[in-house]
Copies of this chain bind each other. A is one copy, B any other.
Amino acid sequence: MNIARSDPQLYFEDFPVGEVFDYGSYEVSAEEIIDFAREFDPQPFHVDEEAAKASMLGRLCASGWHVCAILMRMMVDGYFGRTASMGSTGVDEMKWLKPVHAGDRLSCRRTTLEARISAKRPEMGIVKFRWELVDGKGERKADMTGINLIKVRGTR
């Protein structure tokens, strides 16, 4: 485990609008898909290879929430763990475009859509990102937009 750093290196200014940043390489295993789903999303096509074959998806696939959790892990490892984060208020939109299967190698593309400093809290930047999750063939698996609150450099 890499715990996020307490001495952040990236601030609001480091996320300019229009920037595209590719990061991450995460191979999803069948064991992990089943473990997550047994705990949080025990639908047959997430927890059982045979049941998945008989389902409309035809193969074991990861819970959509597992996909979100993997996206988060890649964010923390890729940049967020060294970012002066002030949290997040939520997600504007999350689309699960294609099933994620065991053996898929995922990576992420982040695009900065909007960035402004809060009028009420001048130490807080409000940044809207888009995150696209792609597999090794470049096929898009998920597409998410949402807000991160990020500290302005040099403020208290």
For A77, give the chain B residue with the smallest CB separation. Answer: B42
- Expressed in whole angstroms, the minimum distance between the Cβ of A142 and any Cβ of chain B is 8
B residues in contact with A85, CB < 8 Å: 43
Oligomer copy total: 2
- Expressed in whole angstroms, the minimum distance between the Cβ of A84 and any Cβ of chain B is 11
- Expressed in whole angstroms, the minimum distance between the Cβ of A58 and any Cβ of chain B is 13
**Are B89's CB and A95's CB within 8 A?**
yes
- When chains A and B are docked, how far (Å) is the Cα of A43 from the Cα of B72? 10
* A119 interfacial by beta-carbon distance below 8 Å: no
Question: A residues near B, CB below 8 A?
Answer: 1-4, 6, 36, 38-44, 47-48, 51, 56-57, 63-66, 68-70, 72-73, 76, 80-81, 85-96, 146
Besides the contacts A42-B73, A66-B69, what 16 more A-B pairs have beta carbons closer than 8 Å? A3-B43, A3-B51, A6-B51, A40-B72, A41-B72, A41-B73, A42-B76, A43-B76, A64-B88, A65-B68, A88-B96, A89-B95, A90-B96, A91-B93, A93-B93, A94-B146
The 7 closest A-B pairs by CB, nearest first: A90-B95, A40-B69, A91-B94, A4-B43, A65-B69, A40-B73, A90-B94
